[in-house]
Amino acid sequence: MSFSLYVHIPWCHSKCPYCDFNSHAASSWPEAQYTRALISELKDRAGTPPYSGQRIRTIFFGGGTPSLFDPKSIGEIIDAANRACGIEPDAEISLEANPGTVDLAKLGGMRAAGVNRISFGAQSFNAATLKFLGRIHCADETRAAAGMAHRAGFDRLNLDLIFAVPGQTVADVLFDIESVAALEPDHISAYNLTFEEGTAFFTDLKHGRIKQLATDEQAAMYQTVREEIPRRGYAMYEISNYAAPGHEARHNLTYWRAQTYLGIGAGAHSYAGDGRGGQRKRWWNEKLPARYISAIEERKNAETGAETIDEAGAQSEFVFLNLRLREGFAISDFHARFGRNFESIFGIVATPLFNNGLLTLDRGRIKLTDRGLEMADSVFAEFV
Ligand code: SF4
């Protein structure tokens, strides 16, 4: 048995207006103190169920902007994880980076510290779109950052794109796809822009200062993304994710397969319980970095909320998370996890979805059809 480790670094140079992550704009941050707190939390959790005795198969440094941290701090966390749990020899260790915050020395340092996959928030290659999104970098910085990542020894490189940005056209989306593929990453994520409550964009939308693209324009862009990225050698394996063969993001597969992970850091969430029976639980930490640090220093633990997931809740989550994957899930895996037939629990819900061409059964696996993909949120809602 093994688990995935998420490490949250909560600071950014500035707050992007669409961002609803737990990220805080700052020009300085208590890096040494926060790193100590992360290591203390990790050591404490490593000795308790379900993590004790399990090794780590993936680590993901997310944020925020983890590339603001010194490679030395990142290396200390990786070393501590190895000492506390043991990291599998072929583990995937990813770090999110902002193209405006790296140089060759920093990327080389991250690689030497043990990071083997880097993920840049490219978002777009169009200056107007980047400005609208409030990004601090320009397209040339993304191009330079991708080149430096290759030179620093990263053969695993993800680039994120955002589409359906007000003002964007399908031709702009195609330009972004061509630009991103030209940098030869092994993985591309392409997200439809959403307007989440609590963000500056949500307020702007409410007050009519910005306007969302029409639904059919957004659908046309998603279709362009779904067709054009695979044409360049990246298979779609999840609603928003594309990879060269064998280069899927293993860390994110943990989430979509509803498997156990540990999240450490301010606001991080954890999930325990992918085995059959036993208690399934989710918990989360103090969101504010200062409160997180003091909680860890005082009691080694910054948990601020938790929920137990009952059998029915776990079955729903298993279905709608796995349906995000193009391969869907094997009916036999559902049975292995819950000891019940999928049909006996979800037959009434699933039958109309099959009849309406939104779900399909293919060699023992249930998955979304192309039409189901376009209406994914409505399909998922049926299982909640
Ligand atoms: S850089 Fe990323 S995490 Fe930071 S504010 Fe922008 S979108 Fe959010």
C-alpha 121/C-alpha 68 separation (Å) is 14
Are the C-beta atoms of residues 266 and 21 closer than 8 Å to each other? Answer: no
Residue 277 has pLDDT above 90, yes or no: no
* Per-residue pLDDT tens digits for 82-115: 999 999 999 999 999 999 889 999 999 999 999 9
Q: Are strands 157-163 and 187-192 parallel, antiparallel or unpaired?
A: parallel
Residues 125-134 pLDDT 10s: 999 999 999 9
Smallest CA separation from ligand 1 atom 7, residue: 19
68 and 152 together in one domain: yes
Domain identity same for 246 and 363: no
CB of 282 closer than 8 Å to CB of 270 = yes
In this structure, the answer to whether residues 40 and 182 fall within a common structural domain is: yes
Q: How many domains does the chain have?
A: 2
Backbone φ and ψ for 194, nearest 5 degrees, come out as -120, 160
Expressed as residue numbers, the domain containing 26 is 2-255
pLDDT in tens, 19-37: 999 999 999 999 999 999 9
Asked if residue 267 belongs to a domain, the reply is: no
The reply to whether 285 falls in a domain is: no
> Looking at per-residue confidence, does 171 or 273 come out higher?
171
CA of 64 to the centre of ligand 1 (A): 6
Ligand 1 pocket list (CB less than 6 A): 12, 15-16, 19, 21, 23, 63-65, 98, 121
Residue 290 in domain: no
Segment 217-254, tens digit of pLDDT: 999 999 999 999 999 999 999 999 999 999 999 999 99
Alpha carbon nearest to ligand 1 atom 3, residue: 64
- Same domain assignment for residues 83 and 177: yes
Query: What pLDDT, on a 0 to 100 scale, did the predictor assign at position 276?
Result: 55
104 in a domain, yes or no? yes
- Do the domain assignments include residue 274? no
Give the per-residue pLDDT at 5.
Answer: 98
Atom index in ligand 1 nearest the CA of residue 14 equals: 5
Is residue 275's pLDDT more than 70? no
CATH number at residue 112: 3.20.20.70
Q: 25 and 139, same structural domain?
A: yes
Residue 38 in tokens: 């992360």
On whether both 245 and 356 belong to a single domain, the answer is: no
User: In this structure, is residue 297 part of a structural domain?
Assistant: no
Q: Is the pLDDT of residue 370 over 60?
A: yes
Kindly report the protein residue whose alpha carbon is nearest to atom 6 of ligand 1: 16
Average pLDDT over residues 360-375: 96
pLDDT-based confidence at residue 136 (cuts at 50, 70, 90)? confident
State which ligand 1 atom lies nearest to the alpha carbon of 63: 3
Based on the fold, state whether residues 236 and 321 are members of the same structural domain: no
In 3D space, the residue among 254, 263, 258, 250 whose CA is nearest the CA of residue 51 turns out to be 263
Mean pLDDT, the chain, rounded, equals: 96
Mutate to test the pocket of ligand 1, among 9, 11, 29, 65 (most ligand atoms within 8 A of CB): 65
Specify the CATH number for the domain of residue 370: 1.10.10.920
Task: Spell out the residues 6+ positions from residue 364 whose beta carbon is closer than 8 angstroms to its own.
Answer: 330, 331, 332
The CA 359 to ligand 1 mean position distance, Å, reads 34
Kindly report the three-state secondary structure assignment for every residue of 327-359: CCEEHHHHHHHHCCCHHHHHHHHHHHHHHCCCE
Of 255, 290, 322, the position where a domain reaches its end is: 255
Q: Is the pLDDT of residue 286 over 90?
A: yes
Single-letter amino acid code for the residue at 188: I
User: What does 55-77 look like in DSSP terms, one character per residue?
Assistant: EEEEEEEEES-GGGS-HHHHHHH
CA of 298 to the centre of ligand 1 (A): 29
